[in-house]
Amino acid sequence: MPTQQQRITGAHLRVQREHLGLARTQLAAIWNMNPGTLAAWEDGRDPTPYNLGDRLDELLKTTDEHLKTLAHKHNPGDTILTYRTDADYHQHNPAGPYTASWHRSLCARLLTQIPNLTIQFQQCTNSNRPKPGHQNT
């Protein structure tokens, strides 16, 4: 008889989402779901689905694969480019899996593996830059 998978907690989901550098709305968009549902799970108002741990593991696996690729491409002293906004990210990575904040988080993790990297923002020409005082993603 198959054993029933344990549910992950809302706290587990939130910690992992934040580790990935994703806002609730961003993760909800990636998973094609309502952000309110995600908020209810994280806040403990509703139980998480049993398969949510698997979905989260896939997201973490994809992120780790991107991290390994970046780590193999770069050496101490190299410069790696990241993105200020999602528009910048998708301009240079049309098939990119996630968001600019996810990529910046990936770069931060890369710094723990290759401490002497320089991180700079990619210069984008057709970006919709937010006005001062508005949050960049």
Give the CATH number for residue 76. 1.10.3100.10
pLDDT of residue 126: 60
Contact assessment for residue 14 and residue 42, using Cβ atoms and an 8 Å cutoff: yes
What global pTM score does this model have?
0.81
25 falls within a domain: yes
Distance from the Cα of residue 101 to its chain's centroid: 6
Q: How many domains does the chain have?
A: 1
5 falls within a domain: no
Beta strands in the chain (DSSP E): 79-82, 118-121
Q: What range does the domain containing 69 cover?
A: 10-121
126 falls within a domain: no
Residue ranges in the chain modelled with pLDDT below 70: 1-5, 125-137
Q: Give percent of the chain above pLDDT 70.
A: 87
101 falls within a domain: yes
134 falls within a domain: no
pLDDT of residue 47: 96
**Which tokens go with 15?**
């910690």
130 falls within a domain: no
